[in-house]
Amino acid sequence: MSPLDIDRRHFLKAGVVAATAGILETQEAFAARLAELPTPGRAGQGFVELRDEYALSPDITYFNHASIGTIPKIVREAQHKYQELCETNPWLYIWDEGWPDGREVVRRKAAAAMGCAVEEMALTHNTTEGFNMLALGLPLGPGDEVLFSSLNHAGASVCWNYQAESRGFSVKRFEFPVGRAAELTEDDLVAAYEREITPDTKVLVFPHIDNIVGFRYPVRKMAEMARSHGVRYVAVDGAQAAGMIDFVVSDFGVDFYSTSPHKWVQGPKESGLLYVSEGVLPDVRAMWVTWGHTRWKGTVRVFEDYGTRNMPELMALGHAIDFQNELGARAKEERYRQLWQHFKTEVDRRSGVIWRSPVTWDFGSGLYAIEREGHKSSDVSRRLFQEHGYVFRPFATQGLNSMRISPNVFNTEDEIDRFLDVLHAL
């Protein structure tokens, strides 16, 4: 071996040590910052004290976490630090052993947060990617039917129609009476789906929490109903539930659960999670393959065979989960319930403002729809943003004229009151 070869080996070894040390240093710095946060229960702090831990502009009141959440400053700083590490020596920092080890740490954190086995948790890019994997990879063909309602988000719907054209299975979409949300019950919701199931229905798809009016589906009851009618696969869109409400996905009896942590988990954009029940893992063909396909065959990692990954975002997702764990799943859900109750109470006492979502918390969620009677929702959204800095999502689909409100735990009752006063005064 030449002196040059020896020098190169020493250089690479030193580089690997430096890369791993940089990753550990970033993790330790994040942990130290997290321990100093004014989290609820620490020194008498509440959720509202967290407002300064985000980079939101002081000129806006943000009620649109159901579209895109806001990442905590300390998570964003960790993400940027990982990016800096990568760019100091891209080859070394992307392929150093510290990154794949860190990826598995994130997998363990995600599995614990979702309530499933580590070997059932795939690290994807978003909810849509998870459903595309299923539409392409499940054993479907002529005579098979995929069923979902008009409450499905496009990310959990369009992929089925697209694949049906070439694979020969059929897609059945039925209209859900979303305009009657305030008068429906859980049993009404389950019955609406049960009526549509046929002997051909092989896949049932539905949201855990829909993104329009905020129905909280009784997931286990839905799964049991579907199984009783011979449905083979049950797939759930959890984009609006993960990070908002407390649940254990392995208790639901479903086969797949796909979510986007950039909403309520407040993780980096382009980070996703896909639960694949161990019993159906062999049924799904990978959507894409490269060098890892053989190495990871038979494991959930086969769905992550991307080659080069967005490691800074992936590592920062682990820190976003840490942040949410510090807040506490039950404490967060209680805070969302408090905001829901306050919002509904204030809506009910203002004439001309109409509640368009479920009327009980157990059937509702941290996102809800209201209507300003006599005013087009898109016009209201534009005006209230331009004049007052309110950010929310208007909906004019499926016969609705509603505004979807989705505050986060640091939003306040005073912000809600001021918003409703402005809305009522239109």
- Confidence at 4, pLDDT banded by 50, 70, 90: very low
Q: Confirm if 232 and 267 have CB atoms less than 8 A apart.
A: no
pLDDT of residue 21: 82
Poorest-pLDDT segment among 239-248, 307-316, 385-394: 307-316
pLDDT of residue 99: 81
- Confidence at 5, pLDDT banded by 50, 70, 90: very low
The end-to-end CA distance of the chain, in Å, is 81
The domains found in the chain, sorted by start residue, are 107-325 (3.40.640.10), 329-424 (3.90.1150.10)
DSSP notation for 39-67: -TTSTT--GGGGGGGB---TT-EE-BTTT
| Cα–Cα distance for residue pair 182/70, rounded to 1 Å | 29
pLDDT of residue 80: 96
Residue 336 reports pLDDT greater than 90: yes
Residue 75 reports pLDDT greater than 80: yes
Burial class (CB in 10 A: 0-12, 13-18, 19+), 386: exposed
| Cα–Cα distance for residue pair 386/22, rounded to 1 Å | 44
pLDDT of residue 79: 96
pLDDT of residue 16: 52
| C-alpha triplet 131, 135, 141: angle, nearest 5° | 160
Both tokens assigned to 337: 């319930």
Poorest-pLDDT segment among 91-105, 179-193, 228-242, 365-379: 91-105
The predicted model scores a pTM of: 0.94
Q: In what order do the strands lie in the sheet with 272-276?
A: 121-124, 272-276, 256-259, 233-237, 201-207, 145-149, 170-174
Residue 14 reports pLDDT greater than 50: no
DSSP notation for 251-310: GS--SEEEE-TTSSS---SS-EEEEE-GGGGGG---S--STHHHHTTTSGGGGG--SS--
Residue 388 reports pLDDT greater than 90: yes
Per residue in 232-246, pLDDT tens? 999 999 999 999 999
Residue 43 reports pLDDT greater than 70: no
| Cα–Cα distance for residue pair 315/239, rounded to 1 Å | 20
